[in-house]
Amino acid sequence: MTLGLVLWGVLIGLVVAYQGVCLVSTTDRWPSLSHILRSVTDNTAGRWILFGMWLWLGWHLFVRGWQGFFKA
């Protein structure tokens, strides 16, 4: 349990650090995550694909573990 939390913390820390480095950098060598997300959501297909990924991730992270909660 704690190893999983540590790994999630490291992963989120790396993503936040990458975003910070990209935003502070004076060159545009690496695109920031906000720039990538903006370019994906510029068209309708990208928005639908991103929405589907969000639903899939939410289902697998939250709903699948609630079998006892939904039983009548």
pLDDT tens-digit map of 20-38: 998 888 888 888 888 889 9
Residue 71 maps to a domain: no
pLDDT tens over the chain, length 72 residues: 688 889 989 999 999 999 999 888 888 888 888 888 999 999 999 999 999 999 998 888 777 666 655 555
Residue 5 maps to a domain: no
DSSP string over the chain: -HHHHHHHHHHHHHHHHHHHHHHH-SS-SS--HHHHHHHHTTSHHHHHHHHHHHHHHHIIIIITT-HHHH--
Tell me the residue range of the domain where 47 lies.
33-65
How many independent structural domains does the chain possess? 1
Enumerate residues 6+ apart whose C-beta is below 8 A from 46: 39, 40
Residue 43 maps to a domain: yes
Residue 23 maps to a domain: no
Amino acid 70: pLDDT: 57
Rounded-to-integer distance, Cα 48 and Cα 55, Å: 10
Residue 52 maps to a domain: yes
Residue 54 maps to a domain: yes
Residue 38 maps to a domain: yes
